Structures are given as C-alpha cells and as structure tokens.
A and B are shown apart, each in its own frame.
Chain A
Amino acid sequence: MEVPILKQGHYLIASIQSALTDADLMLLRESLVARVGKFRARGVIVDVTALDVMDSFAVRTLRDITHMARLRGAETVIVGIQPEVAFAMVQLGLTLKGVATALDLEEGLAFLDTQARERIDRA
C-alpha cells in the first residue's frame, strides 16, 4: 500500500491514509529519502493523522526518516499525532526524541518555514 507523496515548493508531504505494514513503512522510508535527493527538498512532512495506533516499528521508521532526510539536507516534521496515540506512545515508552513534531499540516509548514529562515539567517 503505497503512501502518496506530494511536492509543495521545496517540501515533500507524505500523507498516511491507513495502517501500514512493516513492508509499507520501509517502502515509505526509501521513497522519501530518494525523493529528497531527486527534488532537492528542504523539508519533509509526514502526516499521521489517520493512524489510530503507532507501534515501535512505525516510531523507529519515523526516526530513521528524520535522520536520513537530514543527512540529505532536509528537515522532517511529524504532524497529526492523535491524543490517544500520543498517550499510548508515552506509556509504552516509545519516544520520538530528536524528531520534530507539530499539531497539523499548517503548523508543520510553519515550522519548516521558520527552520528555513533560520538556516538562511545563519548562512
């Protein structure tokens, strides 16, 4: 089940529609990292609004995507984690430490814009 990845300016937006198998997650990871290079994207948004649960493999995949994308020059932000999912995650000790998160797509874009501005300011 392939996850649709949209390009918006310098950003890539992956919108997860339903529960993903481990294989789907690995495919998503590969696709995103490949496209960061192909389109010279500066930011990646993974939207998990539709997910009711997030297991440890999903969490690890999101961390991997973040690290890999950063190595290729893009910042990643995970958006749309539901309250129940967030609660379950912290109870199980599944942290997304080191991974940026935002409430929704709008916030995620705002976050990436701020990041891009800061990078320009630093340069």
Chain B
Amino acid sequence: MSTPKDRTPTSQSPTPEETAGLLRELVSHLRQNRTQLREEWARRITRAQLLTAMTEEEIFAEATSVYDNYVEALETGTFEALQAYARNLSERIIPRGVETHEVVGIVLLLRDVLARSLFAKYHEDFNKLNRILDAYEPAANRIANTVAVGFVQERERVIRQQQEAIRELSTPVLQVRERLLILPIIGVIDPQRARQLTEQLLRAIRTNRAKVVVIDITGVAAMDSNVANHLVQTVEASRLLGATVIVTGLSPEIAQTLVTIGVDLSEMATVGDLQGGIEEAERLLGYKVVELSEATGQTGN
C-alpha cells in the first residue's frame, strides 16, 4: 500500500488503528508543547476580550484544567469525564457572570490554537497533515460541542431551579381583622400562579366571611396584560362573593402599564400603599383606630 508523494490528499479513509495512532501522535505533541500552547491560548482569550469577569490568574488556572481535560478527551476518546468537567466548570463560572458566547468562544480558540500548531509541525508533509487533521477535527468538534452543551444545560438547570423556587414562594392569605383579609403578592406571577392565588383567595373569602380584601402588589416587579387581566378577574370574582377588593402598592411602572393596556379599572379600588389600604379597609368595615392616651391613663373610646 504505497502512497504517491504528491500534493493531492489520499481518498482512502484511515483504518481505526491508523486513526488511533495519529491521535496518539497528536496527543503526545500537545502534551510536549503544553506550556506554550496553553500560554498562546490564554493570550488569545485576553485579546478576544473573553472571560472579562475573571482575573488573569483565574483564567490561567481554568485554562490549564480545560487544556488538560481537552487533551485527555482526545486521548481516551471518551467524553464522560469531559461532560462532568464541563458541568462542574459551568457550576463555578455561571455565578461569576460568564456568558455562553464566552465559553463557546474560548473552546473554539483552543481548537484554533491546537490546529495552528499542527499546521506548523506538519506543514512539510501535506498528506500527513491531512490525515492528522482527519483524526483531530471530529474529536475537536465533539469536544467543543460537549463543553458548550454542558454549559447551556447547566444554565437551564439553574433557571429551572430558580423558577421553581419563585413559584413556591407561597402566598398566604392573612386575616388581620374580622372580615378583613390581606393577600401580599411577591415575585413573578405567571398564569398558573395567578389562578392558584385567585382560587385560594375566593376560598378564604368564604371561609373567613371577609367583606374587604387588600391585595398588595408592592412585591410584584412587572405586570403584563395577562397578569393585569387576572388581577381584574380576581377583583370581580371577589365581588361576586360580596367582598370589596382594594389593590395597594402599584409601582409607577405598573400604574403606567395598566392604563396603557386599557384594563378596565372602574371596578378596582386602589390605594398607594398597604398602610393606606388597611386604613381604608377598616374605615369601610366601620372600625376607627384611636390612640390610647397615656398622659391621662385612660383608654380612648
């Protein structure tokens, strides 16, 4: 099986043994030149202005372990260790504010740095270079893929976790006086949570025979038309059970949103803050709050 020494690439695909042999050669080259290649990579990372959230020492430390894991993946051909490493790395750097494009960027830079060093080493033997690249490229692409996907999956896991936590911020319905309920809403309201809140409130109105409900939305950051409609529906449904609803704690942004999207606000009583809302509710219920007079030692009537 003699190969002609010309410049056209051979069209025979390499046998698995040949590929393995080429990869071994490649890995030993990468290990021998570990120091310069790693430094070259770190330089490129800084030049490309990636990982700006990390210090140079941190970048170098991470670069070292990524490099070693990269070469090991090339050597063993197995990717479980790399996947585990990618998830572990992501867990550490996501809280630091590292973005997906940065992670993908640095892995691709490493791929480039290693490829260039292969060009430099084998540039005199075009055939050999091609065969080495044939062995290198699929493995390198798979590595880039594995790391990027691992990062994204970790991000998605964190997001799901946070969503669950937010949803579980359970909202109690609190009775603060006879016939007066308070529903403080905190966090993000999605349609599912809005429905749950409404059902909970209606049952509480019936159980506590409430005549007035104060819904406080100070803790709600933003409101879209869906949530606004849910709020209006909650007010209307409460009215059907004979309860008046006072909404308090509307931020300037939410006030603007409600008016802009044209929600029917005629049935919704609002007061600026929770304190004002409770005072109004007490007034509606016929309560009057009187200060105990300490000077005379008597209670006010």
Q: Which residues of A contact B (CB under 8 A)?
A: 79, 81-83, 85-87, 89-91, 95-97, 101-104, 107, 111
Contacts and interface: CB of A to CB of B under 8 A. Distances in A.
A95 B199 contact: no
A101 B237 contact: no
B205 A83 contact: yes
B138 interface: no
Nearest to A85: B240
B32 to A, nearest CB: 71
A81 B236 contact: no
A101 B267 CA distance: 14
Given A86-B202, A103-B205, A91 B233 contact: yes
B194 to A, nearest CB: 11
Interface of B: 198-199, 202-203, 205-206, 209, 211, 233-234, 236-243, 267
Q: Which of B199, B203, B206, B240 counts the most chain A CB atoms within 10 A?
A: B240
Given A81-B240, A86-B238, 11 more contacts: A81-B241, A82-B206, A83-B199, A83-B202, A86-B202, A86-B237, A87-B199, A89-B240, A97-B267, A103-B243, A107-B211
A51 to B, nearest CB: 12
Q: Which of A83, A91, A95, A104 counts the most chain B CB atoms within 10 A?
A: A83
Contact of B236 (A85, A95, A104, A111): A95
Contacts of B267: 97
A52 B47 CA distance: 70
Contacts of A107: 209, 211, 242
A102 B265 CA distance: 21
Contacts of A90: 233-234, 236-237, 240
B198 A101 contact: no
Nearest to B207: A83
B161 to A, nearest CB: 31
Contact of A101 (B202, B209, B234, B241): B241
A103 B202 contact: no
A83 B210 CA distance: 13
A9 B243 CA distance: 26
Contacts of B238: 86
23 contacts: A79-B242, A81-B241, A82-B206, A83-B203, A83-B205, A86-B237, A86-B240, A86-B241, A87-B199, A87-B237, A89-B240, A90-B233, A90-B240, A91-B233, A97-B267, A101-B240, A101-B241, A101-B242, A103-B241, A103-B242, A104-B209, A107-B209, A107-B242
A83 B236 contact: no
